[in-house]
Amino acid sequence: MQTRTLGKNGLKVSSLGFGCMGLNFAYGAAMEKRDAIALLRQAVEAGVTLFDTAEAYGPFTNEELVGEALAPFRDQVVIATKFGFKNGDAKIGMDSRPQRIREVADAALKRLKTDRIDLFYQHRVDANVPMEDVAGTVKELVAEGKVKHFGLSEASAGSIRRAHAVHPVAALQSEYSLWWREPETDVLPVCEELGIGFVPFSPLGRGFLTGKIDANTTFAKDDFRNIVPRFSQEARLANQALVDLLGKIAAGKQATSAQIALAWLLAKKPWIVPIPGTTKLHRLKENIGATAIILSTDDLRQIDAALAQIQVQGDRYPPQLAARVGR
């Protein structure tokens, strides 16, 4: 596994990370704890060093799981977690008050069984707390040794600039994939200008780009995708054209659709580090295989030309969640 650097302060991570949320949150039934721990440790053994969690995943239980799984490898890995929701519950709303940020940091350190948070993200921009106060608080936590690097998630270009002016932002985490390319307009150019790494979550379109989901797929009652407009039956039927295209490209490269979707992101910029999640060992191995696929400039040009002919249907969030992003 090759490494990439996020930000200007030397945060080196594997070129592909692991999004831990789905191990026990948001996508139906949680994995058995024993199996989840085993999977995370297999990821480490396969060369993955960046693991992404948050207090809101559970809440709290995902951090505990990640902390236990990675404790034997603590000095070999980079653990990212997040603050920004009231009582750690995304359903309640935002809370990035300085006092709350400090409380989250201290609690996360205990749950993660560690003495430092490698990458501490603001989960969503809080309109009620000036970005300067947020960045200033994280700067103090860095000075105290509790946090190593500062990150933002789903922030606008303006918020990124304001935060970075107070304390260097190492990484911006947002959704980015073949079927959600909005970051290319404003956010990626700002990251490149300021030397900020970019960490795409849902790089496989919440599973849709793998080709394993179609209009007839049903999800568990507690699966987040049930409330996502892009996953309505009508939208999935309309978006099948994108999956079909991806499948054709993959066949030509003797790869899977998922691998091409990840390779496309890796080829975009050397400071982009996708964090696909999975609950299956064979999918983990498949994802890691994407790092060996090289897409040429001509490959990328052909993919972009083909994608331009497809209009993806459906919003990526329901209205109440869409209002939280891009601030």
- Cα 193 to Cα 23, 161, 187, 226: the distances in Å are 35, 10, 10, 37
Q: What are phi and psi of 285, to 5 degrees?
A: -65, -40
Nearest CA among 109, 164, 95, 172 for reference residue 136: 164
Q: What is the DSSP letter of 326?
A: -
Does residue 117 lie in a domain region? yes
Which amino acid is it at 284?
L
CB 179 within 8 A of CB 205: yes
Domain membership of residue 208 as a residue range = 3-322
Nearest CA among 90, 92, 79 for reference residue 25: 90
Does residue 277 lie in a domain region? yes
pLDDT tens for 239-265 read 999 999 999 999 999 999 999 999 999
Classify 279 as helix, strand or coil: coil
Instruction: Pull the structure tokens for residue 66.
Output: 């990640």
Number of domains in the chain: 1
Catalytic residue among 57, 121, 176, 317, which? 57
Which amino acid is it at 137?
T
Q: Is 57 a catalytic residue?
A: yes
Classify 120 as helix, strand or coil: strand
Q: What does the pLDDT profile of the chain (327 residues) look like in tens digits?
A: 999 999 999 999 999 999 999 999 999 999 999 999 999 999 999 999 999 999 999 999 999 999 999 999 999 999 999 999 999 999 999 999 999 999 999 999 999 999 999 999 999 999 999 999 999 999 999 999 999 999 999 999 999 999 999 999 999 999 999 999 999 999 999 999 999 999 999 999 999 999 999 999 999 999 999 999 999 999 999 999 999 999 999 999 999 999 999 999 999 999 999 999 999 999 999 999 999 999 999 999 999 999 999 999 999 999 999 999 999
pLDDT tens for 31-54 read 999 999 999 999 999 999 999 999
CB 275 within 8 A of CB 52: yes
CB 283 within 8 A of CB 26: no
d(CA 303, CA 301): 5
Look up the CATH number of the domain holding residue 99.
Answer: 3.20.20.100
Beta strands in 54-168 (DSSP E): 78-83, 117-122, 147-153
According to the model, what pLDDT value does residue 59 have?
97
Instruction: Pull the structure tokens for residue 76.
Output: 């070999």
CA 226 from centroid of its chain's CA atoms? 20
10 Å CB burial of residue 279 (0-12, 13-18, 19+) is middle
d(CA 293, CA 275): 17
Which amino acid is it at 325?
V
According to the model, what pLDDT value does residue 138 have?
98
pTM listed for this prediction = 0.97
CB 59 within 8 A of CB 299: no
Does residue 230 lie in a domain region? yes
Does residue 327 lie in a domain region? no
d(CA 303, CA 247): 12
Q: Which residue has the tokens 């999977």?
A: 39
Give the H or E element holding residue 11: strand 11-14
According to the model, what pLDDT value does residue 299 have?
93
Instruction: Pull the structure tokens for residue 80.
Output: 């990212």
Q: What are phi and psi of 3, to 5 degrees?
A: -115, 160
Does residue 238 lie in a domain region? yes
Does residue 24 lie in a domain region? yes
